[in-house]
Amino acid sequence: MNDHTDPSRAMAKLTGGLLLIILALALGSCSSHRREVNASSGGGGFMRGKVTVANSGASHAEEPYFEAIPIRKSIDKSLLRPPTSAYRVGPGDQLDIEVAEDAETRSTETVQPDGILYYNSAGGINVKGMTIREVSKALAENLSFDYVDPIVTVNVAQADSQRYFIMGAVRQPGTYPLDKPTTLLHAIGTSEGLGVAQANNESEETVDLSRAIMIRNGKTLPVNFEALVEGGDLTQNVYIRPGDYIYLPSRQGNSVYVMGEVQRPGPITYDSRLTILSAIASAGGPTQDAVVTRAMIVRGGNNNPQVSVVDIQSLMRGQSADLLVKPGDIVWVPRTLWTNIRNYTETVLTTAAQTIAVQEGVFGQGGGARLNINAGQ
C-alpha cells in the first residue's frame, strides 16, 4: 500500500509539511519575537542558530511536566579489568624493526593504508590484524633468503590505528592512540584534565559531569562520571577500547540541541527564554516524515534523565501552552511512533552524543549532519 492509497499516511505527510508554514506564521505574528541565524561554514554542516526572544514573547509559556526515566545500569566487572589480548597492528602504525645483531638494519616503517608493510628486502607483507609476534615471524621468514636464521625484533613506535576520542570540556580534546592499557581516568588525565574558567578570581571547572557520556560500539556504557571524578569511585573506572568516544559537555552557554526529524538538526544558542516551538522553528521546522505528536524534551544526566513527551501539533493549534526549554535540553522530533519510553530515551541520548561528535569533527568534516534512529520497542 502506498501513500496514495493509505489516507492516514498521506494525512501525516501533509500535516508534517504544513507545520513549518504554521510555525512561521505563528512566530511572525508576534512582534516581540526576533530571530537571527548564522550558518556554519562548509557544505553539509550544522546550522548554528542564535535566537533572541524577548521576555514577553515567552511570557505565556509553561514549564514542561517531566517524568524521571531510570536507565541506570551497573557496570560489567569485566570492563574494569585491563585487556589481555595482544595489540593488533593496523594501517598507520609505525613500527621499529631491526634484525638482531645488525644495527644497520634498524628502521621505522609505517603500515600502509592497505595493511602492507615494507621493510628491507622482505618485500610487501600484509600485516593488518597481526600481533607484534606474528609480524616478527612473518618478517623473519621473508628475510631468510638474505640472512641466516634471522631474528627480527618489532616494537610499536606509534600506534595510529587504534585510537579513542575524548571531546568537550577538557583542555586538550581530540583523538589519542591506544597503545597500552588505559583507564578512563588516565584518558581524562592525558587530555590534560577538565576545562576550567575564571570566576571571581577563582578557577571553576566548566564540565557538566552529570551529562557526560561514553559510547562503545554504538551503545552507551553506564559510567557515572560524577562518582568517578568527584567521588573517586573506581568501580566506574573502565578500561578504554579502540573506537571509544567520551564526551564531557560544558555547563556554560545557553544551548539547546534540536535533533531528529527537523530540517537543520544541531545546537540553538539563545538569549533570554526559549520555547520548544521557537527552538524547532530555528531548526528549520519538522520534516515531512516527522511524528509531531510524540516529540520529547530530554533533560538532566544520562544516568537519571527526565523526559517530557510533547504534542507539537497541539501546541501549534493553541490547545496547550507553549513550553520553556533550558540550556542542555535535547528537543527530539521522532520519525516513527515509539512505545517503550525507557529504551527510546536511552537511544536518543546515545544518538545525541554521536551527533555532537559529528558537529565537533570527530567522525569527519562535511558529512551528513542528520542521524536517525529506529524507535525502541
93-119 per-position pLDDT tens digit: 999 999 988 889 999 999 999 999 999
**Looking at residues 183-207, what average pLDDT do you find?**
75
pLDDT-derived band at 19, boundaries 50, 70, 90: low
The residue range of the domain holding 136 is 94-158
Residue 205 has pLDDT above 80, yes or no: no
Least confident span in 43-57, 84-98, 208-222, 356-370: 43-57
Residue 197: its pLDDT value, please?
Answer: 56
pLDDT-derived band at 282, boundaries 50, 70, 90: very high
**Residue 116, SS3?**
strand
For cell 548564522, name the residue. 38
243 lies in the same domain as 172: yes
Please check whether residue 368 lies inside any domain of the structure.
no
292 lies in the same domain as 343: yes
259 lies in the same domain as 299: yes
275 lies in the same domain as 338: yes
Cα 57 from Cα 28, distance rounded (Å)? 11
Please check whether residue 369 lies inside any domain of the structure.
no
65 lies in the same domain as 106: no
- 39-75: per-residue pLDDT in tens? 332 333 323 344 433 333 455 789 999 999 877 678 8
**Looking at residues 221-248, what average pLDDT do you find?**
92
Residue 136 has pLDDT above 70, yes or no: yes
Please check whether residue 2 lies inside any domain of the structure.
no
Q: Which helix (H) or strand (E) holds 331?
A: strand 330-333
- In Å, how far are 149, 207, 315 from 120, measured between CA atoms? 16, 50, 71
Residue 91 has pLDDT above 90, yes or no: yes
Question: Of 63, 62, 133, 146, nearest to 104 (Cα)?
Answer: 146
Contact call for residues 170 and 192 (beta carbons, < 8 A): yes
Q: Which helix (H) or strand (E) holds 39?
A: strand 33-39
Contact call for residues 196 and 233 (beta carbons, < 8 A): no
Please check whether residue 232 lies inside any domain of the structure.
yes
Residues 89/91/94/97 CA torsion (nearest 10 deg): 60
pLDDT-derived band at 352, boundaries 50, 70, 90: confident
Contact call for residues 60 and 331 (beta carbons, < 8 A): no
Q: Rounded to 5, what percent of the chain is helix, strand, coil?
A: 25, 30, 45
Domain final position from 108, 139, 158: 158
* Counted domains in the chain: 3
**Looking at residues 255-274, what average pLDDT do you find?**
89
Contact call for residues 270 and 51 (beta carbons, < 8 A): yes
Question: Of 279, 265, 287, 250, nearest to 351 (Cα)?
Answer: 265
pLDDT-derived band at 264, boundaries 50, 70, 90: very high
Residue 271: its pLDDT value, please?
Answer: 79
Most confident of 7-21, 40-54, 324-338, 348-362: 324-338
Question: Of 254, 269, 277, nearest to 37 (Cα)?
Answer: 269
Q: Are strands 295-299 and 174-177 parallel, antiparallel or unpaired?
A: unpaired
262 lies in the same domain as 293: yes
CATH code, domain with 354: 3.10.560.10
Cα 97 from Cα 94, distance rounded (Å)? 10
Cα 215 from Cα 345, distance rounded (Å)? 15
270 lies in the same domain as 243: no
Q: Which residue has the higher pLDDT, 327 or 43?
A: 327
Please check whether residue 372 lies inside any domain of the structure.
no
pLDDT-derived band at 37, boundaries 50, 70, 90: very low
153 lies in the same domain as 167: no
Please state the φ and ψ torsions of residue 345, each to the nearest 5 degrees. -60, -45
**Looking at residues 297-308, what average pLDDT do you find?**
87
232 lies in the same domain as 270: no
Please check whether residue 312 lies inside any domain of the structure.
yes
Least confident span in 74-88, 202-216, 347-361: 347-361
Distance of CA 127 to the CA centre of its chain: 31
Domain final position from 124, 158, 192: 158
Cα 210 from Cα 196, distance rounded (Å)? 16
pTM reported for the whole predicted model: 0.66
For cell 609476534, name the residue. 133
> Is the torsion defined by CA of 218, 250, 241, 340 positive or negative?
negative
270 lies in the same domain as 239: no
Residue 276 has pLDDT above 70, yes or no: yes
Residue 155 has pLDDT above 70, yes or no: yes
Domain final position from 248, 283, 314: 248
168 lies in the same domain as 139: no
Cα 334 from Cα 70, distance rounded (Å)? 21
139 lies in the same domain as 52: no
pLDDT-derived band at 258, boundaries 50, 70, 90: very high
Q: Round the CA-based radius of gyration of the chain to a whole number and report it.
A: 26
Residue 231 has pLDDT above 80, yes or no: yes
DSSP-derived letter for residue 226 is: I
Cα 43 from Cα 60, distance rounded (Å)? 38
CATH code, domain with 125: 3.30.1950.10
Please state the φ and ψ torsions of residue 353, each to the nearest 5 degrees. -65, -40
> Is the torsion defined by CA of 10, 12, 13, 17 positive or negative?
positive
Please check whether residue 377 lies inside any domain of the structure.
no
Q: Which residues contact 286 (CB under 8 A, 6 or more apart)?
A: 16, 19, 20, 261, 262, 263, 280, 292, 312, 333
Please check whether residue 371 lies inside any domain of the structure.
no
**Mean pLDDT score across all residues of the chain:** 79
Residue 85: its pLDDT value, please?
Answer: 84
Residues 330/332/338/339 CA torsion (nearest 10 deg): 30
**Looking at residues 169-173, what average pLDDT do you find?**
88
For cell 508576534, name the residue. 30
Cα 258 from Cα 295, distance rounded (Å)? 11
Please state the φ and ψ torsions of residue 312, each to the nearest 5 degrees. -60, -35
**Beta partners for 158?**
94
